[in-house]
Amino acid sequence: MSDETETARDGMPLIGDQFPEIEAETTHGTLSLPDDYEDEWFVLFSHPGDFTPVCTSEFVAFQQRSDEFADLDANLVGLSVDRVHSHLKWTEWIDEELDVDIEFPIIADERGRVAEKLGMLHPGAGTATVRSVFLVDPDGVLRLILYYPMEIGRNIDEILRSLKALQLSDDEDVAVPGDWPDNQKFGDKVLLSPPSDAEGVEARLEAAEDEDYDCKDWWFCLEDA
- List the catalytic residue out of 22, 54, 55, 76: 55
Find all residues with CB under 8 Å of 108, minimum gap 6, and list them. Answer: 24, 25, 26, 27, 80, 82, 83, 84, 86, 87
What CA–CA distances, in Å, run from 157 to 1, 56, 62, 162, 205?
A: 38, 17, 10, 9, 36
Annotation says 221 is catalytic: no
Give burial (CB, 10 Å; 0-12/13-18/19+) of 108: buried
Phi, psi at residue 71, to the nearest 5°?
-65, -25
Supply the residues annotated as catalytic. 55
